[in-house]
Amino acid sequence: MWKIFWRRFIRNKLALFGALIILSLALVAIIAPHIAPFDPNQQDILHRLEPPSYRHPLGTDDLGRDLLSRIIYGTRVSLLVGFVAVGIAIIVGSLLGLLSGYFGGWLDTLIMRFVDIMLCFPTFFLILMVIAFLEPNIWNVMAVIGLTGWPGLTRLVRGECLSVREREFVQAAKALGLSNIRMMFVHLLPNVMAPILVTATLGIGGAILTESALSFLGLGVQPPTSSWGNILTAGKDYITLAWWLSLYPGLAILITVLAYNLLGEGLRDVLDPRMMLE
């Protein structure tokens, strides 16, 4: 099955393209200190708002800091927020979905009603409300995005578990007297991993967009730490004088989110069990 997966994945050009972009961004984040031409926080007032040039390929900001260096270091922040926030959402959503789908009964009703309540609130405004009561920093942003992003996944995992738990191999495992923990994490969870992986991949792009929006509003990653969102915040004040401050971080967000969406859509097609044997 792994050979079939890789063969189908390589044939999916859009998914492969998205994966290559994501791997390139991860490499940039890892080696950022070695490829950034300047310290991202190094100010040079004599060269503030300088347009793209040989010395500063993407120009400088209002404090004379090199924009290329800040975007390179901002890659670290965006990928970290995406992975950690989605990791929190995946752990919480998968666990609650497994409990709800496997045990059913009053526990299922309780978890699903709580999910319904969470889904009643507009997610972004809920994040804004929570961040308003907390200190706006990268760790709080990751925690809040993760702890508000699990309800949809919980419903998805629950639905898959309701289907899988009625299959013959699960009934046979029950007849052998296996524990509930073993049933959930050895027999149910591996069989619902495909939709979890797809949701996680698409969710990372959404988390990066949310972090960028929060930073743009001044409630996310705080200066002098560079993130694509707070670079855009500086850019809006000089949109008519320094177009590069808005264009290049905006393109970085666009390309990153597009790459994750392409990979997620590709995984959805590749992991479709109805197409695995093609």
Whether residue 278 is contained in a domain is answered as: no
CA distances from 201 to 123, 154, 240 (A): 19, 16, 36
Structural domain that includes position 110: 2-270
CATH (domain of 231): 1.10.3720.10
H/E run at residue 115: helix 105-120
269 pLDDT more than 90: no
C-alpha 220: how far from chain center: 15
C-alpha torsion 44→49→54→57, nearest 10? 100
Task: Estimate the crossing angle of helix 193-216 against helix 151-164, to 10 degrees.
Answer: 180
Whether residue 6 is contained in a domain is answered as: yes
- Domain count along the chain: 1
At 151-186, the pLDDT tens digits run 989 999 998 888 888 888 888 888 888 888 888 888
With tokens 């791997």, the residue in question is 23
Instruction: Read off the pTM.
Output: 0.86
What tokens were used for 67? Answer: 């924009």
> What's the start-to-end Cα distance of the chain, in Å?
12
Whether residue 276 is contained in a domain is answered as: no
Phi, psi values for residue 66, rounded to 5°: -70, 125
At 54-72, the pLDDT tens digits run 889 998 988 889 999 999 9
Alpha-carbon distance 84 to 235, whole Å?
27
Whether residue 266 is contained in a domain is answered as: yes
Alpha-carbon distance 272 to 278, whole Å?
11
Radius of gyration of the chain (CA): 22
Whether residue 140 is contained in a domain is answered as: yes
Whether residue 111 is contained in a domain is answered as: yes
C-alpha torsion 149→152→157→163, nearest 10? 180
Whether residue 133 is contained in a domain is answered as: yes
Task: Give me the amino acid identity at 53.
Answer: S
Whether residue 177 is contained in a domain is answered as: yes
Task: Estimate the crossing angle of helix 151-164 against helix 67-103, to 10 degrees.
Answer: 40
Task: Estimate the crossing angle of helix 67-103 against helix 193-216, to 10 degrees.
Answer: 140
At 174-233, the pLDDT tens digits run 888 888 888 888 888 888 888 888 888 889 988 888 888 888 888 888 878 888 888 888
